[in-house]
Amino acid sequence: MALRLYNTMSRTKEEFVPLHPPQARLYCCGPTVYNYAHIGNLRTYIFEDILRRTLRYNGYDVLHVMNVTDVGHMTTDADEGDDKMDLAAKREGKSPWELARFYEEAFFQDTARLNIERPDVTPRATEHIVEMIEIVQKLEAQGYTYLTSEAIYFDTSCDDDYGKLARLNLADQRQGARVEVIADETKRNPSDFVLWFRNKPTHIMKWESPWGVGYPGWHIECSAMSSRYLGETFDIHCGGVDHIPVHHTNEIAQSECASGHPFVRYWMHGEFLLMNSAKISKSTGGSINRLQSLIDSGYDPLAYRYLCLQAHYRSELNFSLDAIDAATTGLRKLYSVRPESDPFLSDEAGYQEAHDRVLEALNDDLGMPQAVGLLHSYNSHRLWVNFDVVLGLDIAKRTEPRTEELPADIQSLIEQRNIARKAKNWAESDTLRNTLLECGYEVGDGPQGTTVKKRIL
């Protein structure tokens, strides 16, 4: 049964055919680690995790790369404002390196709680400066750049294909340029973008380059790290829909002009999560947008994952407390499905037919809501458990009777943590959470106090 994926480039569903079977090479734009991820960001990583697991279910050997942006992402996607990392470091009185490592760890802690599998390679931008400089040099040698007092820019007027992903109309944009105020007046066209910043003495993170001491533009890092680990042309590139008009458009321009080859075969984009029908912001939002705040309110992180599975990745999803309450109820219902009352106990043909229908839904551009709907209607424990390698909801573990008691030292840590939380001693409670995590236990906060489950990652 063929796997079909919606390709943003062609605006159609296409059969997935990898370049190097049985491998499927996947690149996902990773977090900018200047703050905690919000649950909107996490929705995109859940979508990418479902894609990875679906590819694997279809027999592909997935090579998954996700960068960590620890330098060079400005406060707007279009190079303007200050570097997010630099700004946050100054705000929190830490070095940008300390800040980046702290939020990177917090990010991987959140994704692990959501059963998002860790990508095979998670390169950091600051560790790939050499590769970035090499691409800029290739572009410069071929005449795609110009140098100003501020930066070396990519000249979009030299690239006939510029804007093909977003189907941008450059003629309109250039006309607009006459009236538009361009933040940096050394820039020639509104769509031109920075490859390398120079002459920014107050910037904390900086490196030597052929264009002087400075730091990379944001887009160049993904071009450099994707080709470093996946080759100049690879199978799938993902991100949120906000990346279509600027970030991915610019990645394509610089990668294809530098290498002379097509960059990516399938572009996939996840739609946004809205919060009570409004936009979520990582820079301005309070802690209400974090996974941790859901956990503190007693929600199971997997209820959030389950909520995301109920909407198609190409549809907006509105988050509200009613929605997560409904997802919690739905998840409990599915955890109550018993193996002994499986409708397919002695009906192998029935099981196969049901299996194929669920797979067909999944392979139709990750039709997860349809797949979950079918799984609920079949109400088969065996089928749920089989597809849990894609769903990632810990179904076998949560539906099996508990056989092993927790070790005494773990029980003692749980008791200490309950006492700390009752006394509102959050620092102590967090330390105990970390100790439990180090012992291999995921920590949750249920109505009866601390709950733990053994980690699978």
Q: Which is nearer to Zn ion, 29 or 65 (CB)?
A: 29
Contact 334, 392 (CB under 8 A): no
Q: Does 264 bind ligand AMP (CB under 6 A)?
A: no
Tokens 């996607």 label which residue?
77
- Chosen from ligand AMP, Zn ion, none, partner binding at 40 (C-beta under 5 to 8 Å by type): ligand AMP
- Chosen from Zn ion, ligand AMP, none, partner binding at 54 (C-beta under 5 to 8 Å by type): none
Sheet (strand 193-198) strand order: 145-147, 151-154, 193-198, 214-216
Contact 393, 306 (CB under 8 A): yes
Q: Does 29 bind Zn ion (CB under 5 A)?
A: yes
Tokens 């990516």 label which residue?
264
Q: Which two tokens stand for residue 111?
A: 């994704």
- Chosen from Zn ion, ligand AMP, none, partner binding at 222 (C-beta under 5 to 8 Å by type): Zn ion
Tokens 């539906």 label which residue?
399
Considering only residues 37, 51, 106, 222, which one is a binding residue for Zn ion as defined by CB under 5 A?
Answer: 222
Closest distance of CB 255 from Zn ion, Å: 11
Contact 402, 414 (CB under 8 A): no
SS3 161: coil
Considering only residues 6, 26, 31, 328, which one is a binding residue for ligand AMP as defined by CB under 6 A?
Answer: 31
C-alpha to C-alpha distance for 254 and 251, rounded to whole angstroms? 5
Site string for ligand AMP, 34-63 (x = CB under 6 A): ------xx-xx-------------------
Q: Does 282 bind ligand AMP (CB under 6 A)?
A: yes
Considering only residues 96, 217, 240, 392, which one is a binding residue for ligand AMP as defined by CB under 6 A?
Answer: 240
- Chosen from Zn ion, ligand AMP, none, partner binding at 41 (C-beta under 5 to 8 Å by type): ligand AMP
Q: Which is nearer to ligand AMP, 133 or 308 (CB)?
A: 308
Closest distance of CB 205 from ligand AMP, Å: 17
Q: What is the DSSP letter of 402?
A: P
CA-closest candidate to residue 255, choices 282, 286, 219, 280: 219
- Number of residues forming the site for Zn ion (CB under 5 A): 2
Q: Which stretch binds Zn ion (CB under 5 A): 111-119, 222-230, 425-433, 441-449?
A: 222-230
Q: Which stretch binds ligand AMP (CB under 6 A): 119-127, 265-273, 340-348, 386-394?
A: 265-273
Helix (H) or strand (E) holding 431: helix 426-438
CA distances from 452 to 106, 300, 373, 437 (A): 19, 11, 29, 9
Contact 306, 368 (CB under 8 A): no
Q: Which two tokens stand for residue 271?
A: 């739609």
Q: Which residues bind Zn ion (CB under 5 A)?
A: 29, 222
Q: Which residues bind ligand AMP (CB under 6 A)?
A: 29, 31-32, 40-41, 43-44, 239-240, 242-243, 270, 272-273, 280, 282
